[in-house]
Amino acid sequence: MPEISKTADQALAALAELCESGPMTAAQLSRSMGLNRTIVHRLLTTLHRRGFITRHNGSYQPGALLVRMASRVQPELRAAAAEAMAALAEEAGETVVMHIADGNDAVVLDQVVGVRHVVRVEHRIGSRHPLTTGASGRALLAFMEDGAAARVIQGADDPVGLKQQLASVRELGYSLSHDELQQGVWGVAVPVRGQTGAVLSSLAVLIPATRAPSIAEHLPALRSSAMRIGDSLYRLDDLADPPV
């Protein structure tokens, strides 16, 4: 295995910790990472000067540069999904979120927060969780290529139980979850497929538990939106490669 830069690895680990855990002081980050406080100060100073983090009242948090970087991840997919996600959030009155797979994790690529209700659900773009957890993760995992899925399943706490869950997702064509990533939150997710049928992302509607009885009502619109995103990708491909 090629040798890595220890300092770069520590800086990236510090950035990831701030993204996952929210604003932290240098002392808090030092304890969390198990690193010398002087080393952490140097890492934070470098990240701050480069615009990756900001400092407020002695605490550090992710900076605006990360937002600009995130906008460059899967731009075609984000562009294809934007209109459909906005329409679905408007119709459902709930938050719509899109995840992509990254290794063993599901990562939030984009979201449209529902604004019809005072109580609503919200994720952080770029946040991640295991593919084995939550409706969005399992909607990706259930339809992944067999070899990649097998590696994730083998590392699960309960591979047999997970296989049964995924078989149910494949049979139904959608995944359900509640109280897994956030207490009091329910989700229903479906896969978004590319032209070859491969799964590109998952699309989900997230609702608070108080409105959980209505979650099945959103499934037809959710499926329709996923198909619309796939169709939009085909059109973008046509525009990008005009006939000669």
CATH code for position 185: 3.30.450.40
pLDDT at res. 244? 37
Provide the pLDDT confidence category of residue 239 given band limits of 50, 70 and 90: very low
pLDDT above 90: residue 47: yes
Query: What share of the chain has pLDDT > 90, as a percent?
Result: 65
Place of tokens 């952490």: 40
pLDDT above 80: residue 84: yes
Is the CB of residue 141 less than 8 Å from the CB of residue 110?
no
pLDDT above 50: residue 191: yes
Q: What is the pTM of this model?
A: 0.72
Say how far apart CA 28 and CA 47 lie, in whole Å: 16
Q: Which of 34-48, 60-74, 138-152, 169-183 has the lowest mean pLDDT?
A: 60-74
Tokens of residue 27, six digits: 């002392």
Nearest to 84, CA basis, from 195, 236, 196: 236
What are the pLDDT digits (tens) for 214-228?
899 999 999 999 999
Mean pLDDT in residue range 121-146: 92
Q: CA 215 → CA 6, 158, 219, distances in Å?
A: 47, 27, 7
Q: Is residue 1 part of a domain?
A: no
- In angstroms, the first-to-last Cα distance of the chain is 45
From 25, 50, 68, give the residue that closes a domain. Answer: 68
Residue 64 is part of which domain span? 6-68
Q: What is the CATH number of the domain that holds 23?
A: 1.10.10.10
